[in-house]
Structure 1
């Protein structure tokens, strides 16, 4: 199974030649701000299996590790594409909403990360919650 997706305007496209390592809700404050929502649906994949085409921009902020987290987005429409943490160089977290409609329909979120930032009105609980990153 491979994955594919694109930004809202279609200027940035990507493919992933691997199965997701994790599909879940990321409740960290930075993801809330980047998505403008209460959490970000993330699909964690091996970084070396991701191919992005089109021009992207990124914003680097400091993660809880003290290392940079690069937030990759389309400079035309602003769609967030992924976040790439320097603290975990082998993986990258694709924003689930940017996947193709077919791939989105197949997602099975089974975990939550950064539940320390989970907003009190988000009541859904998944099987494997982590207060911060998976320990």
Structure 2
């Protein structure tokens, strides 16, 4: 995995089946957990060597669905277009809307 970190207000993610993610280097991801807006757990997985966050698994979405940090992939940063903005409730007041915005997670 390339070591790409960002310090901006945004992340680029994609909701995918857990089976679609293949981690090819860096070892077994480390993780931590916190409670999401739903009151259910959010599991955050990151590289144990560089601490880059790789994906999140939200209990509310079920065990087989993850939110992958697609900005880690060079082709994603160049080719993927914004499909929606999630967690608009946390948006900074000066940010303009660039896609359909959901206040929390989109409906499943």
Report the TM-score when normalising by structure 2: 0.82
Segments of structure 1 that go 5 or more residues without pairing to the other structure are 1-5, 10-34
Go from structure 1 to structure 2 and tell me whether the alpha carbon gap of 1:39 and 1:64 turns closer, same or farther (over 3 Å shift): same
Whether the aligned pair in 2 keeps the contact of 1:7 and 1:74 (CA below 8 Å) is no
Offset at 1:96? 2.3
Measured in 2, the distance between the counterparts of 1:103 and 1:39 equals 15
Aligned to 1:128: 100
Select the structure with the greater relative contact order (CA < 8 A; seq sep ≥ 6). 1
Moved >6 Å (runs of 4+): none
Q: Give the secondary-structure state (helix, strand or coil) at the position aligned to 1:87.
A: helix
Segments of structure 2 that go 5 or more residues without pairing to the other structure are none
How big is the alpha-carbon RMSD for the aligned residues of Structure 1 and Structure 2? Answer: 1.9
Offset at 1:105? 1.2
Measured in 1, the distance between the counterparts of 2:35 and 2:103 equals 18
Measured in 2, the distance between the counterparts of 1:63 and 1:85 equals 8
Aligned to 2:90: 117
